[in-house]
Structure 1
Amino acid sequence: MFRRLATVAPRSVGTVVSPRITPAISGIQTQPITRASPAPQRRSYHEKDKYIDQSGMTSQMLTLFALLDHYNNPRNVGSLPKDAPDVGLGLVGAPACGDVMKLQIRVDKDTSKITDVKFKTFGCGSAIASSSYLTELVRGMTLDEAAKIRNTDIAKELCLPPVKLHCSMLAEDAIKSAINDYYTKNPKAAKTDLSGTAASIPNVEKTDGSTASL
C-alpha cells in the first residue's frame, strides 16, 4: 500500500529539491535527485579578441581610425618656396586613378635632416592619408633615412586595401623625387642611394611639356 509523502514546494522557481528527499514507495527503488552540472562555457568566436585594448578597440579598428584621422585632419598641408635652394620638390601622379601629389621638403645643409615638409594632394582619401602620414614620418629624418621608406611601410601603417596600394607607391615616389630635386639644386651635397623605387609613376606634365604645379 502506498504511503503519502508530504513535501513543501520550493520557495522560488529554479530551486532544486534536496537530494536527501526521496519518495518512499514500497517495492520500488528510486534514485536521488541530483543537481544538473553547469553548461560548459561557450568558446569565444573571435580569435582577435586578445588584441582588444582597454577602450574596446581592436588593432585593426585603431588602424582604420588612423587612416580616417589623416584624411579628415591632414597634417602639414601647404607649400614652401619652390625656388629656395634648401627646398626639394617632388611632383608625381598616378595615371590609373588621376591622383596627383606634390611634396616639398626643407633640408638643413649641415645635418642633411628634413626640418620641414609640406604637401598638397588631389585624389582619393587614401592618397591624402598616405601623404599626410608621410609628412609626419619624414620630418626629422636624414635624407638617407627618408630614402629608405618603402610604400609597404605606409600601406601597413594605414591598412590600405590592395586596390589602394598605388596611393602608398605615390607617396614613396614623391619623397624620392623631392630628395632628387634637392640634390639637383645642391650638387655638392652628399647624395644617397635612391634605387629601389616601388613603382614606375611618372611626373605630371602639361601638354606643352612643362611640369605642372599644384
Structure 2
Amino acid sequence: MWDYTDKVLELFYDPKNQGVIEETSEPGVKVATGEVGSISCGDALRLHLKVEVESDKILDARFQTFGCTSAIASSSALTEMVKGLTLDEALKVSNKDIANYLGGLPEAKMHCSVMGQEALEAAIYNYRGIPLAAHDDDDEGVLICSCFGITDTKIRRVVKENNLTTAEQVTNYVKAGGGCGSCLTKIDDIIKDVEQEVATTTKNANNGIKSAEILNSGQIATATRPLTNVQKIALIQKVLDEEVRPVLIADGGDVELYDIEGNTVKVILKGACDSCPSSTATLKIAIESRLRDRISKDIVVQAVEP
C-alpha cells in the first residue's frame, strides 16, 4: 500500500477540474490541448487550457487522465495550480512544484508529476504554434529504453532537474528501465556523465573562471563576475547563431540582432517570422526563453522594424 498524503487522497477521491474544455468560438479566447503518455504504458494525460488571448492568462484548466491514484491527483493539482497564471508563468511550474502541492509523492510515483509538467508544456507550445522540439529535444536523442520509448536526452534532463543519483530513481521519474531492464547499465552511465558535468562546472566556478574564458571555450554558463557589455553582446549573438536561427530558418524564418540596451535585446524578425501570426510566441519562446536560460533571467526580447 502506497503511503499517500491526505492531499493526494483528497484529489483522487474528489478530483478538481476533471473533463474537457470544448472550443466555443468565444471572442478573445482559445483552447489549447496537450497530450502525453500512452495507455499501453499505463498512464496517459490530456490537458485542456482555456486561454485569454490578449493577456495570455489561463482562465480555466481541465484534464482527462488514465492512470493510478498519483496520476489523477497530480493532474488535478496541476489544473488548480495553473489557473490564473499567464502562459509564461505556467511554463515555470515544475514536477517538483506539483509534488510539493500534493505534500509529496511516493518516489516510485514521481513519474506522474513529470507527466503533468510535460502535458503543460505540450499544451502551451501547441497553443503558440511552436513544435515542442524547438524547446525540448527529448525526442531527438538516442533511444535508451525501448520498452517505454525514453531517450538519453530525456533521462539527462530529469536527472539534472531532480538531482537523481540512481537508475532506480530514473525509473521512478520517467519509467525508463522499468520494463525488461536491459537499459539499466546505460542509465547508470548517463547518470555518471551528468555527475561529471556538474562536478566540472562546480570546479570551474570555484576556480573563478573568467567570463572571457567561458566564451572562448564555447561553453554557456554563469560566470563568477558580471559580463561586460562586449561579452554580453558576443554571448547573445552566439546563442542566436547556434541555437535560435537554425530552428527559425528550418521554418522559413530568421532573426537578426539589432541592438542591446541593458537587459533589453532588440531583434529584427525576418522571412516567415516577420509575417507569422505567432511572432510574439517566437519572441518569447524561441528567443527570449533561450537567452534567459543561457545568459540572464532578466533579459527581455523586443522586435523592431528593419
Shorter-chain TM-score above 0.5: yes
The one-letter code matched in structure 2 to 1:156 is N
Question: Is the aligned partner of 1:187 residue 2:131?
Answer: no
- Within 5 Å, which residues of 2 pair with 1:124-139? 124-139=68-83
Cross-structure match for 1:78: 19
Distance 1:99 1:127 in 2: 7
* Percent of pairs with identical residues: 41
TM-score, structure 2 as length reference: 0.40
Following superposition, the deviation at residue 82 of structure 1 comes to 5.4
SS in 2 for 1:190: helix
Check if 1:100 corresponds to 2:24. Answer: no
Give the Å deviation of 1:97: 4.6
Q: Distance in 1 between matches of 2:41 and 2:24?
A: 30
User: How far, CA to CA, are the matches of 2:63 and 2:90 in structure 1?
Assistant: 15
In structure 2, the partner of 1:32 is none
Q: Quote the offset at 1:80 in angstroms.
A: 1.6
2:123 maps to which residue?
178
Would you tell me which structure has more helix in proportion to its own residues?
Answer: 2
Counterpart of 2:112? 167
1:27-56 deviation per Cα after TM superposition (whole angstroms, max 9, x unaligned): xxxxxxxxxxxxxxxxxxxxxxxxxxxxxx
Task: Supply the distance in 1 between the matched residues of 2:84 and 2:100 (Cα, whole angstroms).
Answer: 21
Q: How many residues align?
A: 135
TM-score where L is the length of structure 1:
0.57
Task: Return structure 1 stretches of 4+ with deviation > 3 angstroms.
Answer: 82-85, 94-97, 188-196
Q: Cα–Cα, structure 1 residues 88 and 187, in superposed 2: closer, same or farther, change >3 Å?
A: same
CA RMSD, Structure 1 to Structure 2 (Å): 2.7
Q: Does 1:123 align with 2:67?
A: yes
Aligned counterpart, 1:46: none
Structure 1 counterpart of 2:31, one-letter code: V
Q: Unaligned regions of 5+ residues in structure 2, if any? A: 131-276, 291-306
Letter of the 1:126 counterpart: S
1:151 to 76, 85, 95: 95
Structure showing greater radius of gyration is: 1
Shift of 1:193: 3.7
In the alignment, is the contact (CA less than 8 A) between 1:78 and 1:120 conserved in 2? yes
Kept in 2: contact 1:94–1:170 (CA 8 A) = no
Residue by residue over 1:7-36, the C-alpha shift from the partner in whole angstroms, topping out at 9 and shown as x without a partner, is xxxxxxxxxxxxxxxxxxxxxxxxxxxxxx
Contact 1:91 1:101 in 2 (8 A): yes
The residue aligned with 1:90 is: 34
Q: Do the aligned residues in 2 keep the contact of 1:91 with 1:174 (CA within 8 Å)? A: yes
SS at the partner of 2:128?
A: helix
SS at match of 1:86: strand
Is the 8 Å Cα contact of residues 15 and 73 (structure 2) preserved in structure 1?
A: yes
- Paired residues of 1:70 and 1:132 also in contact (CA < 8 A): yes
Alignment of 1:29-48 (within 5 A): none
SS of equivalent residue, structure 2 residue 105? coil
Higher share of residues assigned strand: 2
The CA distance in 2 between the partners of 1:103 and 1:172, in whole Å, is 10
Aligned-partner residue type, residue 102 of structure 1: R
CA contact (8 A) 1:79 1:118 kept: yes
Contact 2:23-2:30 within 8 A present in 1 as well: no
Distance change in 2, residues 1:97/1:165 (3 Å): farther
Q: Tell me how far 1:78 sits from its aligned partner.
A: 1.0
